[in-house]
Structure 1
Amino acid sequence: MVAMLKPLVSIVIPVFNGANYLEQAVASALQQTYENVEVIVVNDGSSDGGSTERVARKFGSAIRYYDKPNGGVASALNFAIQKMEGRYFSWLSHDDVYRLDKIERQMAYLCNHDLDDVVVYSDYDIFSDDDIDRSVTVRMPAISPRYFRYWITASSQLHGCSLLIPRAVFDKVGGFDESLRTTQDYELWFRMSRYFEFRYLPGVAVAARSHARQDTRKLTAIVQAETSRLYGDFVRQLGSDDIPPDPTAACSYLSLASSLWQRGFRDAALRAETLAISAGAARRAVILRRLLAKLLLLARALARKVISPRHRQSLQAICKEILFRDGR
């Protein structure tokens, strides 16, 4: 049982051309208040003339450093999973920063509740480049494990670096899908949640940096196409037991379709609408919810241009209340 000892936690940092931010990330991992951690840095074939390696080498034996040919973040994470000695896995992107009590709080939660093979997720901050003092906090909901697969399909909020994952979970479901460029994390969380519970621990675990050099900002078309396919697969895999019945399954499918339309995932949204109609939703209600969602999609695009991130966060909360009021 977790309560009997302080198991080793492996903090894994994959990096590609990340010399600008890597030092801050590694420092936040090494300064964790939880005493039993190992920090693994995997250089995924950086092409910056050795700059990333020089930053990592500064930490000497305090970290375990590996250099491998470039294969993408999923391959770097899988490489680290094979090398890790810890009983728990915690991912830290090279451009993000852990709160210093991230591991301690999550391990204490597992210990206090006598939980073993459970994935813990928490809140996170988003900040722009180096302006960490003006971050926006994203609060996660406490989702029933029974409906977690529905929630992860209806929402894109879960941040992988806020998670703490038992090694046994990878032994059961496998690692990250290396064929995916940008959605390897959500595909794995969906797969994990079929067999393991995800439990919410309130409190910020990580500060996530938003900057122009991120893959998801440089590869917009690739991200959209890959994500659209992924969510289409999610909707097809949802079973009747995954759908919240409160107030009705039809309402939950409608809310799911609205969320998918709002994020621009047309095929997945149409599939969710078909399921809503099969569950008893009126076609008129389906059309009205679709129109509302498309209006919100346009409003979101406009908001990105004219409204600050902090104010957008408040508006998103209002929109979610409208979309999910009768479906969750």
Structure 2
Amino acid sequence: MRPLVTIVMPFYNDPYVGQAVQSALSQSYSPIEIIVVDDGSWQYVDRLAPFMPYIHYLGKANGGTASALNHGIRSASGEYIAWLSSDDIFYPDKINNQVLFMQEHNAWISHTNFNYIDQYSQVTHYRAGVSFERMVDFYRCFLNANPVNGCTVMMRKQLFAHIGLFDESLPYTHDLEFWARAIQAGFPMHYLNEPLVAYRRHEGMGTIRHREAILHEYARTQASVRTAIAPIVAAME
């Protein structure tokens, strides 16, 4: 029997949410559980109405993406967890190919390549992810950047029992901190070099609207990540 996969989708006032949910429902893989966590939205909630019979809808007070992810993860029944932002799109074979890849490599956490799309869902950049031939080069990238797109990541749910959930005190860099925590705990991030996600860049996205706050928080998080990852890189070289 194939393992159940839970797709967790944080949602907050996002006009693209219908496209995201439809992409989750259109996966070639089964069985899949879809959890949409409404993080206190007051706009575009009606766009979920056609999908309600097919999803688990969880409402909560606004607390940020990390709190929404954690809320969904706690409720998830799947052996594997995939994160889908409400403005992005999973291509139809995303879950299928990534589950097979993780089983083949006995991976606890993995990420994939992706394409950039615009507000009209047109691809603007194919294979936008950065590929590394050696794991040490990938880890070295963490010393100065975040080389992982969160919406390409799939994890075993059991990983959270080992290293904890996302840090809700980090509104913008909870993903980077979590990747570093996984690596430091001995769970390598395996890379599937297939573009299985369409990552939407648009004027309403949080990375544009909150740029200054993100840069300030990123500087602090990056410093702690560098401290955690640098010894691992040194040991691999």
Please tell me the TM-score bracket, short chain as reference. over 0.9
SS in 2 for 1:130: coil
Q: Which has the higher strand share?
A: 2
Identify if the C-alpha distance between structure 1 residues 11 and 242 changes in structure 2 by more than 3 Å, giving closer, same or farther. same
> Post-superposition shift, 1:200?
1.1
Question: Which residue among 223, 226, 229 is the counterpart of 1:232?
Answer: 223
Tell me what 2:100 maps to.
Answer: 108
Q: Residue deviations 1:107-160, cap 9 Å, x none? A: 1112334x1x52111101112211424344213324655665433233333101
1:80 alignment partner in structure 2: 72
Matched to 1:194, the amino acid is Q
Give me the TM-score of the superposition, normalised by structure 1.
0.68
In structure 2, runs of 5+ residues without a counterpart are none
SS in 1 for 2:34: strand
Give, in whole Å, the separation in 2 of the partners of 1:139 and 1:9: 24
What CA deviation, in whole Å up to 9, does each residue of 1:66-122 have, x standing for no partner? 111111111000000110000100000000001110010011112334x1x521111
Shift, 1:186, TM fit: 0.7
Say whether residues 1:223 and 2:188 are aligned partners: no
What's the CA shift for 1:214?
Answer: 1.3
Match of 1:6 in 2: 2
Aligned partner of 1:185 in structure 2 is 175
RMSD (Å) for aligned C-alpha atoms: 1.9
Letter in 2 for 1:208: Y
Is 1:23 the counterpart of 2:14? The answer is: no
Instruction: Verify: 1:38 aligned to 2:33, yes or no.
Output: yes
- Greater Cα shift, 182-191 or 148-157: 148-157
1:185 maps to a residue whose letter is: D
Distance 1:237 1:108, change over 3 A: closer
Residue in structure 2 matched with residue 91 of structure 1 by the alignment: 83
Query: Which residue of structure 1 aligns with residue 109 of structure 2?
Result: 119
Please report how far the alpha carbon of residue 35 of structure 1 lies from its aligned counterpart in structure 2 after TM superposition: 1.2
**Matched-pair contact (CA < 8 Å) for 2:38–2:58:** yes
Partners of 2:17 and 2:86 within 8 A in 1: yes
Change in Cα spacing, 1:14 to 1:160, as seen in structure 2 (3 Å) is same
Quickly say closer, same or farther: Cα 1:158–1:241, change in 2 above 3 A.
closer
Q: TM-score, normalised by structure 2?
A: 0.92
Cα pair 2:184 2:229 within 8 Å, conserved: no
Stretch deviating more after TM superposition (193-202 or 76-85): 193-202
1:170 alignment partner in structure 2: 160
Larger Rg: 1
- Relative distance call for 1:180 and 1:139 in structure 2 (3 A) is closer
Among all aligned residue pairs of Structure 1 and Structure 2, give the percentage whose two residues are the same amino acid.
Answer: 31
User: What is the CA-CA distance between 1:227 and the residue it aligns to?
Assistant: 0.4
Which blocks of at least 5 consecutive residues in structure 1 are unaligned?
247-328
**Aligned equivalent of 2:151, options 152, 161, 172:** 161
Q: 1:143 to 1:12 in 2, by over 3 A?
A: farther
Say if 2:20 and 2:89, in contact at 8 Å, map to a contact too.
yes
CA distance in structure 1 between the partners assigned to 2:137 and 2:121 by the alignment: 36
Distance 2:149 2:18 in 1: 21
Give the match's secondary structure for 2:16. helix
Contact 2:180 2:229 in 1 (8 A): no
Are the structure 2 counterparts of residues 245 and 88 from structure 1 closer, same or farther at C-alpha, using a change threshold of 3 Å?
Answer: closer
Q: Secondary structure of the equivalent of 1:170?
A: helix
Between the aligned partners of 1:118 and 1:214, the Cα distance in structure 2 is 29
1:251-290 alignment runs, 5 A limit: none
Tell me by how many angstroms 1:187 deviates: 0.7
- State the one-letter code of the partner of 2:25: L
Check 1:129–1:151 CA distance in 2 against 1; reply closer, same or farther (3 A cut).
same
Partner of 1:213: 204
The alignment of Structure 1 onto Structure 2 pairs a total of residues equal to: 236
Aligned-pair CA distance for 1:245:
6.5
Counterpart Cα distance in 1 of 2:236 and 2:102: 29
